[in-house]
Amino acid sequence: MKPTLLVLAAGMGSRYGGLKQLDNVGPNGETIMDYSIQDAIRAGFGKVVFVIRHSFENEFRQIFTPERFGNKIQMEYVFQELDKLPEGFTVPEGREKPWGTNHAILMAKDAIHEPFAIINADDFYGRNAFEVMGAHLQTLGDAQGRYCMVGYRLENTLSENGSVSRGVCNIDAAGNLVSMTERTAISRTPNGIEYKESDGSMHPLPADAIVSMNLFGFTPDYFAKSEKLFVEFLKKSGHELKSEYYIPFAVNTFINEGSATMQVLQTTARWFGVTYKEDRPMVVQRLKELHEQGIY
């Protein structure tokens, strides 16, 4: 059974100043998504499902077609809009913010019936990350509650343009995630890699600490469990104009209640992403280097 790649591409890139998902950052005009999809094809994925918005559907569909990838992968589109809510719920007056990454995943519940991985459209995950994820998902068959994530070495995820926040993983002897601790303001210092506490104090982090970059893998039962939890979320926080239903919140809930495990798959890949326009030159340079090395 070939797994599916779910690409979260509904964000409008407000901080970036445009549709950064479609920005041509590769030496031949490639978008970051082009690399992810090519790596997914090589890793055995059989379908890609894009979560987008109706407002840029035409522009997106013109670019991302099966022909662009030699007809080697199936494609499907689903849509994340504010009013796509469970029965009985409505959008509170004044809300403009999307409902979050886990709401985006729920948009694909009718399109995916096999193990799947989720990625952000504007993040570069690296070929090895897709290899380890694809190989693992292809072993799951009809399993339920067997979730996974790709864990990166902290040193392979740092930004050259300032500090970052990362979820540092606590992993048990079986390789499963026990907990994830959010560390903010992580940066390279003369003393090594450190993070800053709210009181301003600095604390060291090992370069090989395993961190999450939100590259998760799920079995299809995730949709039903997540939708049930979304209803609870809406009852509690749906009236708030900026509340969001995030993937880690659902994952932590299912792990803590014992309805799922999350195996941490470790990778040698380097992650990088485009959050602000200032990040773009670094991304362009790294992709150029990967082409020069013959990786792409």
> pLDDT of 198-231, one tens digit each?
899 999 999 999 999 999 999 999 999 999 999 9
CB-neighbour burial class of residue 46 (10 A; exposed 0-12, middle 13-18, buried 19+): middle
Q: Rounded distance, CA 181 to CA 234, Å?
A: 25
Q: Is 47 part of any domain? A: yes
| pTM listed for this prediction | 0.92
Residues 6+ apart with CB under 8 A from 88: none
Q: What is the CATH number of the domain that holds 280?
A: 3.90.550.10
Within a 10 A sphere around the Cβ of 200, how many other Cβ atoms? Answer: 7
Domain interval for residue 30: 4-145+212-292
In a domain, 200, yes or no: no
Asked if residue 53 is part of any domain, the answer here is yes
Rounded (10°) CA dihedral 209, 15, 248, 115: -100
Tally the domains of the chain: 1
Decide if 12 is inside a domain: yes
In a domain, residue 68? The reply is yes
Cα angle: 186, vertex 191, 196; to 5 degrees: 30
Average pLDDT over residues 169-197: 93
Residue 106 lies in a domain: yes
Question: For residue 222, which phi and psi values (nearest 5 degrees)?
Answer: -60, -35
What does pLDDT average to over the chain?
92
Contact 9, 50 (CB under 8 A): yes
Per DSSP bridges, beta strands 4-8 and 116-120 are: parallel
- 290 CB-side CA count, 13 A: 23
Task: Specify if 198 maps to a domain.
Answer: no
pLDDT digits 0-9 by tens, 68-110 = 999 999 999 999 999 999 999 999 999 988 899 999 999 999 9
Flag whether 197 is in a domain. Answer: no
Instruction: Using CB atoms within 10 Å of the CB of residue 116, give its burial: 0 to 12 exposed, 13 to 18 middle, 19+ buried.
Output: buried
What's residue 22's pLDDT? Answer: 78
What is the β-pairing status of strands 164-171 and 146-153? unpaired
* Confidence bin at 182 (pLDDT 50/70/90): confident
User: If you search the block for the tokens 């014992």, which residue do you land on?
Assistant: 258
